[in-house]
Amino acid sequence: MTFDYDLFVIGGGSGGVRAARVAASEAGAKVGLAEEYRMGGTCVIRGCVPKKLMVFASEYSEMFADARAYGWDLQDGAFDWPTFSARMRAELDRLEGIYRNLLTNAGVTFYDARAVLKDAHTVELSTGEVFTAKHILVATGGHPTLPEVPNADLGITSNEIFLMEKLPQSVLIVGGGYIACEFAGILNGLGVEVMQYYRGAQILRGFDDEARGLVAEGMREKGVDLHVGTNIMQMEKRDGRIWVKSTTGRECTVDHVMFATGRTPNTAALGLEEAGVELGRWNEIVVDEYSQTSVPSIYAIGDVTNRLALTPVAIREGMAFVETVFNGNPTAVDHKLVPSAIFTQPEMATVGLSEEEARESERVEIYCSSFKPMQRAFAGRSDRALMKLVVSQKTRKVLGCHIVADQAGEMIQLVGIAIKMGATKEDFDRTVAVHPTISEELVTMHTPVRTT
């Protein structure tokens, strides 16, 4: 059978674009791609990139006071959201243009349209065009969801936060995951009065208990009104604002309620089930280790598979797909020991097992140091940093590393290499410290604080 394309990609995010252009430019495949919104996907348009720009902007609020402590004659400035927002949107436009140029230069034909599956080898676009392909790759990502709360549609999600024409005076953020906690810090740093509700006992569930406890403490010290064991019971629009009553009986009125209570794979109305593609419990596309679905010609990568929702993972899965399908070299992505950073304030980064996870399977030693970083202490701040290593008693391998500190994400990238290589605690000990730095604590902790 003759096909219009060797590969047709549905979704123009980081994973889909990488797979499309590598298949076209390096494997010589004829590739088509369809994206219904903007090229770049969640990460570039409404996720990692604009969020990190907002993190940068929000961190300047503390710098005026810190600079004065270091002898600079500065007065506190005023943040202008319209100026920043315009520059941020211009930067996103620039990045989207780069993505389009990458596809064009690789020889990929792309369509600004929604694509749905008609069968195992056919896609139909919202323009009415129909194409056949030997292989189809679904890389449609995910989207934030609203909880089952009365009048939840009065709230906004992380998608809308980037589109605000002006900053609110007050906001209630509902959720305790990394998105909720990151935006609590961002908006607080920009001068917004921030309240946060989380129904669980502690924010950042699934991360190391000691590390997330320090993050929660730091958020409160910086001004976030954080309430755990709390959820929304009622919400109504009153006089242009939103009145909320919590499960603890607390009442408040805010300009916005932002829900960061979960994300769902973008699988609805794509024709997946009609084409025979199996979906999982959370509406994710079920794939094997090579990203192949229950239909041999259809593959899926990235957040739509609900494996590990990180942009670099989606890109790695896209590369592995091309290697498997077009280069004849079956390649599975290793989803273990993936470093990650949470851009809360204070920042947290992690790789490997938490103390709680590790001690469920073996005896471990815990090396931990909490201290006031020199730069912050000199400025009179109470901020504390945390450096933590989880070590196997039996093999001496470092099973996990957890950092709460400025630039934690930059540090964990390099620590991740060592842990991925199987470094032992003695390998860390043999490494000479770089002084004076925060990270030197990682190689100077010689006595465990506890054994579990």
Cα gap 320→301, rounded to integer Å = 10
pLDDT at 444: 97
Task: Give the H or E element holding residue 100.
Answer: helix 81-106
> pLDDT tens across 354-379, in order?
999 999 999 999 999 999 999 999 99
Q: What would the 3-class secondary structure string for 339-384 be?
A: CEEECCCCCEEEEECCHHHHCCCCCEEEEEEEECCHHHHHCCCCCC
User: Taking Cα atoms as reference points, which of 351, 365, 355, 354 lies closest to residue 447?
Assistant: 365
How far is it, in rounded angstroms, from Cα 173 to Cα 196?
A: 5
Measured between alpha carbons, how far is 315 from 311 in angstroms, rounded to an integer? Answer: 6
What is the Cα–Cα distance from 427 to 387, expressed in whole angstroms? 17
Neighbour count for residue 41 (Cβ, 10 Å): 29
pTM score, two decimals? 0.96
Identify the pLDDT of residue 272: 97
Please answer whether residues 363 and 332 qualify as being in contact, where contact means their C-beta atoms are separated by less than 8 angstroms: no
Residue range 298-315: mean pLDDT, rounded: 97
Question: Where is 219: in which H helix or E strand?
Answer: helix 209-221
pLDDT in tens, 206-243: 999 999 999 999 999 999 999 999 999 999 999 999 99
Catalytic annotation, residues: 435
According to DSSP, the residues that pair with 391 across neighbouring strands are 365, 398
Q: What angle do CA 103, 105, 111 make, to 5 degrees?
A: 35
- Rounded to whole angstroms, how far apart are CA atoms 333 and 351? 17
Concatenate the DSSP letters of all residues of 47-89 into one string.
Answer: SHHHHHHHHHHHHHHHHHHHHHHTT---------HHHHHHHHH
Please write the tens of the pLDDT for every residue from 94-131.
999 999 999 999 999 999 999 999 999 999 999 999 99
Asked whether the predicted pLDDT for residue 323 surpasses 90, the reply is: yes
- What is the structure's pLDDT at 273? 94
Are 10 and 299 a contacting pair, CB within 8 Å?
no
Average pLDDT, the chain: 97
Instruction: With beta carbons less than 8 A apart as the criterion, state whether 368 and 388 touch.
Output: yes
Phi-psi region of 422 (alpha: psi -120 to 50; beta: other; left: phi over 0): left
Q: What is the mean pLDDT of residues 373-402?
A: 97
The two structure tokens encoding residue 285: 């596309």
Identity at 160, one-letter amino acid code: E
Mean pLDDT of 129-158: 96
Interval 25-45: pLDDT, tens = 999 999 999 999 999 999 999
Domains annotated for the chain, with CATH where assigned, are: 5-143+264-325 (3.50.50.60), 152-260 (3.50.50.60), 346-451 (3.30.390.30)
Give every CB contact of residue 82 below 8 A, 6+ residues apart in sequence: 165, 166
Residues 6+ apart with CB under 8 A from 234: 150, 151, 244, 245
In degrees, to the nearest 5, what angle opens at C-alpha 313 toward C-alphas 116 and 184?
A: 95
* pLDDT exceeds 90 at position 1: no
Q: How far apart are CA 177 and CA 194, in angstroms?
A: 16
